[in-house]
Structure formats: structure tokens, C-alpha cells
Amino acid sequence: MSVIQPFAEVEHQRAVFPDGLLLDCGVHLAPVNVAYRTYGTLNAARSNAVLVCHALTMDQYLAETHPLTGKPGGWELLVGPGLPLDTDRFFVVCANVLGGCMGSTGPRDLREDGTPWATEFPSITIRDMVRAQKLLVEHLGIARLLAVVGGSMGGMQVLEWAATFPEAVFAAAPIACASHHSAQNIAFHEVGRAAIHSDPDYRAGQYAAHGVIPAQGLGVARMVAHITYLSEEALTRKFGRRLRGANAVTFLEDVFEVESYLRHQGSSFVRRFDANSYLTITRAMDYFDLAAEYGGELRNAFAGKDTRFFVCSFSSDWLFPTSESRRLVQAMNAAAARVSFVEIKSDKGHDAFLLDEPEFHQALGGFVAGAARALGV
């Protein structure tokens, strides 16, 4: 039995939608709860709202101390007074994704019969996540978002927002993402899922009823994912081949610093993230294939729509390489969409979109400010 205990439960701010949603898989999920945080003030014209879509293991706590971990918010470098997503000017909204574990409806929630969904939680898609966010945006009285912004899985949501609800998206910034999940990315996810399924504490998904968590499996899943978020350069710079407390090879476990770091990443992650949520959300990413939703032609996802785009990639990101962003830009160009593109030189890998990258922050801030000017905000 695992000795690692999850953090205590906290109440998350949320909106409840009793009528729920019809999901892509055909299931009508009701009610649907959407947990969210807002930063800044919605103006009288309701025209200054910026929706941030979070990545796989992030959540809605963008710019404040996280209530579970006590750590800084996930995008504190970007969201706040005077920052690129300036909360003195903009009303920034972020919702926990459908299927998540920070207050939005997900596998940890109870069904009508009082038992948790666990593995019975319906399969969801990136579009389903966006539909749930649309409910929230309407609930907040916002007909059109000034901008929708997000990196990685957040970028997939941005693309889906622009394709599905173009009239509600004035500007869209998909960052460090792609129009579909690649075979390699699916394969890495599958390793993580296999590790979770292999953990006897997973108990066929009913771990909560047994008072355990599949900490080992989820930890291994986090370890492998974490490697894909870093560049070789970033790993080498952080750790190189430095040995822990030894000048020579001592032939012990955990002899390399990088191993110790990864093990720590794995073990802290399992305390804040639900394994069934991880399975549900990684599947949603793997299913994502925007072109397939538009007859196999990616440009059709953007055709005849007025949203302006800012596509951004990072040079050392090998999980969502620049070539994938270029493919997006080509499809947008083919659809005569308004698009600007920048590849940020960075050796930090995929994680760069979460880190101190001034050029990226300046470019994103400039794009959103330009959209605000165009709308007279």
C-alpha cells in the first residue's frame, strides 16, 4: 500500500451547469462543474476578457499561491499588473479543464449513485473541454473574448476555440502546440498510462475506494513526461552528469543528480494529481486531430473566420517542434486567416512557455495589446 498521501481537499471557486454537456463520445454529462479563477476586472463593455487555457498538469491557479501546493501560480510571470497579460487592463479567466482534478467535473467526482466516476468517467476530447469553458464564459456574461491564449494542451484548446466558436474569439494565441498529437507523443503518453495501469495500487481505477493512490505508476508517468518537457541542453545544464555527493562513480542508486530530480518530480506530482484524470486528459490530447474534424483539411478549420492568430514555438522544443507550428501557419495562410508567427530561440525545451523567456513574453504581450487596440479596449 502506498504511504504517500494526497494533499487535503480544498474548495474551488466554480460554476455549476445542471444541464451539462453532450460530449463528442455521445454521452450527455450532467451536471457539469467548471472551477475557475479570474484576475483583474471585467470592463463595462465586457470586451477585455482574456481566457487562458491551461496545459496537461497545470490548473486554474495562474497568478496566486496554489491552495494545495503552496507554490506560486503557473503563469505568474505573464499574468498580473503591468505584465504581458496585464490585469490592470484585462480580465483574465482560467478554468480547470473538464476531466481535471481541481474542481471541474472529472473522474474523482461522485455520480448520482454516490460512487466516484473513476474509470467510468466518459472519454472526453479537447473540444469537450472547450465546450465546458464556453459555458463558463457565457455564465460570466462574455459574448466575445478579446483573446484566448494557451501553451501545449492549452494551445490545442486555443485552436479548438477558434475553430468551433470563431465569433467568440477575437484573437487566439496557440503556443508550443500542434494541430494533432504525433505518434511519438502518443507513444510517450502510452508509457505513462501503462505505468499507472501496472501499479497494483491502481486497483483497476478504484484506488480511492481502497484509500490508496497509484503513486509509483503516476510517478513514473510524470518522470517520462518531464523528460519530454525539457531539452537535452536544459537537462545537461541543470545536471550534466554531475554525481550526488561523490566525485567518482560510487555505484549506488540515485548516483546521478538528474535521477534524484526526476524521482522528486514524480513523487511531488502524485500528491496533487489524480491518476484517472491523468489517463482521461492524456487520452484527450492523443485524440486531438483538428484536421480530421474538418474533412481531413486543416485549412478548413480556419476558413471564413475572422480570428487573428499569433502562433509561437520554441527552437529547442522537441515535443511540439517548430515544424508543427509552421504547419499550423501554412494552414492558416491557406485559409487566408490573419496570422503572425514567431519561433523563440530558447534552449529550455517545451517547458519554455512556462519559464522566464522575455522575448516570448514581449511578443505575446504585444499581440494581446494589439488586439485590444484594434477592439478599442
Which residues of this chain interact with its own copies, rule CB under 8 A?
24-25, 122-123, 125, 180-184, 186-188, 190-191, 194-195, 198-200, 216-217, 219-220, 223-224, 227, 230, 232, 235-236, 238-241, 249, 251, 256, 258-259, 262-263, 266, 283, 286-287, 289, 318
| Cα(97)–Cα(353) distance, integer angstroms | 19
DSSP string, 51-65: EEEP-TT--S--SS-
What is the torsion angle, in degrees rounded to the nearest 10, for the CA atoms of residue 162, residue 167, residue 173 and residue 175?
-20
Could you tell me the smallest distance in angstroms from the CB atom of residue 266 to its own copies? 7
CB closer to its own copies, 100 vs 217: 217
User: Among residues 54, 277, 350, 351, which one is catalytic?
Assistant: 350
Could you tell me the smallest distance in angstroms from the CB atom of residue 33 to its own copies? 22
CB closer to its own copies, 26 vs 304: 26
User: Annotated catalytic, 226?
Assistant: no
Could you tell me the smallest distance in angstroms from the CB atom of residue 295 to its own copies? 13
Could you tell me the smallest distance in angstroms from the CB atom of residue 250 to its own copies? 9
User: Among residues 152, 179, 277, 316, which one is catalytic?
Assistant: 152
Could you tell me the smallest distance in angstroms from the CB atom of residue 36 to its own copies? 26
| Cα(67)–Cα(56) distance, integer angstroms | 18
Query: Using a CB cutoff of 8 Å and minimum separation of 24, what contacts does 212-216 make?
Result: 212/1, 212/2, 213/2, 213/4, 213/5, 213/6, 213/270, 213/275, 214/2, 214/270, 214/275, 215/2, 215/4, 215/267, 215/270, 216/2
Closest by alpha carbon to 99, among 270, 284, 271? 284
User: Annotated catalytic, 317?
Assistant: yes
- Over the Cα atoms of the chain, what is R_g? 20
CB closer to its own copies, 28 vs 139: 28
| Cα(310)–Cα(171) distance, integer angstroms | 8
CB closer to its own copies, 145 vs 352: 352
CB closer to its own copies, 36 vs 207: 207
User: Annotated catalytic, 350?
Assistant: yes
Catalytic site positions: 152, 317, 350
